[in-house]
C-alpha cells in the first residue's frame, strides 16, 4: 500500500473519524483506524462498539500507487498528521507491521495493529430511508438529547425516542425528572415507526453535522440506525425495549402562566444557584409569584448565604400567586435550547410538573418536575 494526499484534507476527515475511536476496550483493534486504499479513493473506518464511522475520501490530491488495507493506532496517527509540516503526506506499508509516513522533512515509522482482529462492520444502506435537512436534525438533537438520563439503571431512558407518523417526526427524551419533546414536519410521508437512539450517539453525530442546506439520510434497521451525511456514514446501535408513554405526563390545562424575557430569567436563576450548593451544580432554586405580579427567584444556604432576585414578567400574568422550587440545572438547560427571546412558563400547581414553551420554537415542550421543600 502506498499513496499521497493533501495533509489538511486527510486531517479534517481523521478528526471526524476520531469520534468513534475507542479508548478503553477489551479489543485493542478498536483503538485503530482502518484504512482501505483503493485505486481512486480511500476509506477510513473507526468503531467503539456503540457507534461506527465510515468515511469515503475521494479527493483530487489523492494519488494511489499501490492499493491495500492497514490498521493504524488512531491516537498516535492523528497526532502525527496534525503536527506534520508540508502540504502533502505520503504513506506506505513497509515490512510486515510498519507504516511509513513522509511529509516535508519528516520520515516517521509507526507500528500497526493486527488487521485480522478488526470486526467486520456492515454499513448497510436501505432503499426506503428517511430524508431530513441537516439543520433540522441538529435542532432536534440539541433540543431533546440533553434531557436523557446519564444513569444506567434504566438504560431505555439514556436514549431519545424517535417516532415517525406520516410526515411528522417527534423526538422525546426524559430522565424521569424532566422531559424534552420536539416535533417537526418532514418533506415526505413515511410509514409509522418508532426507535430509541442512544443520546450519546446523537450528541456525537451532532458534532459532525455542519450548518448547511444538505440533507441527511436515516436508514433504520432492526437493531441499528445509519445516518448518511455527504461522504460520512454514521452507524449507531439502537436501544431495546419499550419507551415510556410520555404523552399523558404533559398537562393540558394551566391555571398560572407567566411570560419572561428568557435571558433575564436565565441569568437570575444562574445567580441564585451560586450559593445554594457547593459548586452551583443542580442547586435548588425557588420561584414565587407575588400579589403584585413580580416574580421572586431565591435560594438559601445557611452555611454560605442567601440570594434574592426580582424578575418582571414581560406580559400580563395569568393566574394567582404561586410558590414552587426546582432544579436550577434542569431549568437552565431547558431555557438554553430555546431560540425564542421570550418564554412562557405554565404552572399546574406547586408540586405538579410545569411546562416551558416559546413563540419561535413551535412544537417544542420542555417539562420539569418541581422539588418538594419544607
CA distances from 22 to 78, 121, 143, 169, 359 (A): 14, 15, 27, 31, 42
User: Residue 205: inside a domain, yes or no?
Assistant: yes
Among 230, 247, 264, the domain boundary falls at 247
- Is 316 exposed, middle or buried (CB count within 10 Å of its CB: 0-12, 13-18, 19+)? exposed
Say how far apart CA 99 and CA 108 lie, in whole Å. Answer: 8
Q: Do 153 and 222 belong to one domain?
A: yes
124 within domain boundaries? no
User: Does residue 374 form part of some domain?
Assistant: no
Count of other CB atoms within 10 angstroms of residue 307: 19
Do residues 238 and 256 share a domain? no
Is the same domain home to 223 and 260?
Answer: no
d(CA 81, CA 243): 43
Number of domains in the chain: 3
Helix, strand, coil % over all residues of the chain, rounded to 5: 20, 45, 35
**Collapsed DSSP state (helix, strand, coil) of residue 128:** coil
Is-contact 8 94, C-beta < 8 A?
A: no
Q: Which domain holds residue 58?
A: 2-117
Q: Which residue has the cell 418532514?
A: 186
Q: Does a structural domain hold residue 296? A: yes
Q: Is 125 contained in some domain?
A: no
Both 232 and 289 in a single domain?
no
Q: Do 12 and 50 fall within a single domain?
A: yes
Domain CATH for 309: 3.70.10.10
* 214 and 268 within one domain: no
Judge if 180 and 268 occupy the same domain: no
Tell which of 92, 117, 142 closes a domain.
117
What is the C-alpha separation between 195 and 206, in angstroms, rounded?
Answer: 18
Q: Are 233 and 259 within one domain?
A: no
Is there a domain that residue 74 lies in? yes
Q: The CATH number of the domain where 214 resides is what? A: 3.10.150.10
Question: Is residue 123, in this structure, part of any structural domain at all?
Answer: no
Cell of 139: 435542532
Say yes or no: 290 and 347 in one domain: yes
Last residue of a domain, one of 60, 95, 117: 117
Kindly state whether residues 191 and 202 are assigned to the same domain.
Answer: yes
DSSP 244: P
Q: How far is residue 316's CA from residue 241's CA, in Å, rounded to a whole number?
A: 45
* pTM (2 d.p.): 0.93
Q: Does 373 fall in a domain? A: no
pLDDT tens, N- to C-terminus, the chain (374 residues):
999 999 999 999 999 999 999 887 778 999 999 999 999 999 999 999 899 999 999 999 999 999 999 999 999 999 999 999 999 999 999 987 899 999 999 999 999 999 999 999 999 999 999 999 999 999 999 999 999 999 888 999 999 999 999 999 999 999 999 999 999 999 999 999 999 999 999 999 999 999 888 999 999 998 999 999 999 999 999 999 999 999 888 999 999 999 999 999 999 999 998 876 655 456 899 999 999 999 999 988 877 888 999 999 999 999 999 999 999 999 999 999 999 999 999 999 999 999 999 999 989 999 999 998 76
Amino acid at each position: 500500500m502506498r499513496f499521497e494526499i493533501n495533509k489538511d484534507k486527510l486531517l479534517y476527515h481523521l478528526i471526524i473519524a476520531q469520534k468513534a475511536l475507542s479508548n478503553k476496550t477489551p479489543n485493542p483493534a478498536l483503538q485503530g483506524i482502518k484504512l482501505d486504499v483503493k485505486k481512486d479513493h480511500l476509506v477510513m473506518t473507526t468503531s467503539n462498539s456503540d457507534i461506527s464511522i465510515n468515511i469515503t475520501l475521494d479527493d483530487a490530491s489523492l494519488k494511489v500507487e499501490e492499493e491495500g488495507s492497514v490498521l493504524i493506532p488512531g491516537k498516535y496517527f492523528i497526532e502525527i498528521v496534525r503536527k506534520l509540516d508540508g502540504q502533502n503526506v505520503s504513506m506506505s506499508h513497509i515490512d510486515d507491521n510498519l507504516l511509513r509516513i513522509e511529509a516535508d522533512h519528516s520520515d516517521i515509522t509507526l507500528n500497526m495493529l493486527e488487521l485480522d482482529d478488526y470486526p467486520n462492520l456492515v454499513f448497510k444502506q436501505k432503499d426506503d430511508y428517511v430524508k431530513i435537512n441537516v439543520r433540522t436534525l441538529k435542532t432536534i438533537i440539541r433540543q431533546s438529547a440533553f434531557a436523557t438520563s446519564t444513569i444506567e439503571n434504566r438504560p431505555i431512558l439514556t436514549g431519545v425516542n424517535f417516532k415517525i407518523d406520516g410526515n411528522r417526526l417527534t423526538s422525546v427524551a426524559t430522565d424521569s425528572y424532566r422531559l424534552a419533546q420536539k416535533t417537526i414536519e418532514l418533506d415526505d410521508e413515511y410509514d409509522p415507526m418508532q426507535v430509541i437512539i442512544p443520546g450519546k450517539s446523537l450528541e456525537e453525530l451532532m458534532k459532525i453535522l455542519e450548518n448547511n442546506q444538505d440533507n441527511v439520510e436515516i436508514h433504520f434497521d432492526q437493531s441499528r440506525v445509519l445516518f448518511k451525511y455527504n461522504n460520512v456514514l454514521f452507524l449507531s446501535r439502537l436501544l431495546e425495549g419499550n419507551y415510556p408513554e410520555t404523552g399523558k405526563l404533559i398537562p393540558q390545562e394551566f391555571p398560572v402562566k407567566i411570560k419572561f424575557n428568557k435571558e433575564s430569567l436565565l441569568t437570575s436563576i444562574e445567580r441564585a444557584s451560586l450559593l445554594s450548593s457547593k459548586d452551583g451544580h443542580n442547586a435548588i432554586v425557588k420561584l414565587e409569584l407575588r400579589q403584585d405580579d413580580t416574580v421572586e427567584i431565591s435560594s438559601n444556604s445557611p452555611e454560605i448565604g442567601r440570594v434574592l432576585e426580582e424578575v418582571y414578567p414581560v406580559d400580563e400574568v395569568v393566574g394567582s400567586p404561586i410558590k414552587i422550587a426546582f432544579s436550577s440545572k434542569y431549568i437552565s438547560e431547558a431555557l438554553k435550547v430555546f431560540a425564542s427571546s421570550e418564554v412562557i412558563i405554565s404552572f399546574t400547581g406547586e408540586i405538579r410538573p410545569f411546562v416551558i414553551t416559546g413563540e419561535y420554537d413551535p412544537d417544542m415542550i420542555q417539562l420539569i418536575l418541581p422539588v418538594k421543600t419544607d
